[in-house]
Amino acid sequence: MTGFRPTILAFCCNWCSYAGADLAGVNRLQMPTNVNVVRVMCSASVKPEYVIKALSQGIDGVLVLGCHIGDCHYMTGNHRTARRIPLTAKVLETVGIDSRRVKLDWVSAAEGDKFQQVITDFVEEVEGLGPNPSKEVRF
């Protein structure tokens, strides 16, 4: 799609992925500018309703980034996220939203390079999907 720049919402856990984003910035890594980062205390605090609401209001893609499995500062928060977000993506498929518009990944505080790669890859994938069809369909 020519000229399409998707709007991406990225929920980042405070302890790992948000710190990874900060490291990417400190290292001046080039990243897409159409990603809006929301810092949450834990990836488990990203409720399915938040993802669904974002997409229903026209956000083109939602990215949830948390601590690596086994490294959660809240012990098992990312285990909950690992179950919750894929299920949310499947539910979205039932209403006609491509599950590739929702992505879950793990980025530690020391992985600024990985943060940059995950963000860049996700933006490119959503660009390939085109605009969010829910901009025209109400849930």
**Edge-to-edge strands, sheet with 102-106:** 35-40, 8-13, 61-66, 102-106
State the 10-residue block means of pLDDT for the chain, 139 residues long.
Answer: 87 97 96 96 97 95 97 95 97 94 98 98 97 71
Do 17 and 64 meet the contact criterion of CB atoms below 8 Å apart? no
The owner of tokens 């910035």 is 25
What whole-number distance in Å separates Cα of residue 19 and Cα of residue 108?
Answer: 8
Do 137 and 96 meet the contact criterion of CB atoms below 8 Å apart? yes
What pLDDT does 134 receive? 80
What pLDDT does 14 receive? 97
What pLDDT does 136 receive? 57
Show the domains of the chain with their CATH numbers.
8-129 (3.40.50)
What pLDDT does 3 receive? 85
What whole-number distance in Å separates Cα of residue 133 and Cα of residue 15?
Answer: 34
What pLDDT does 137 receive? 53
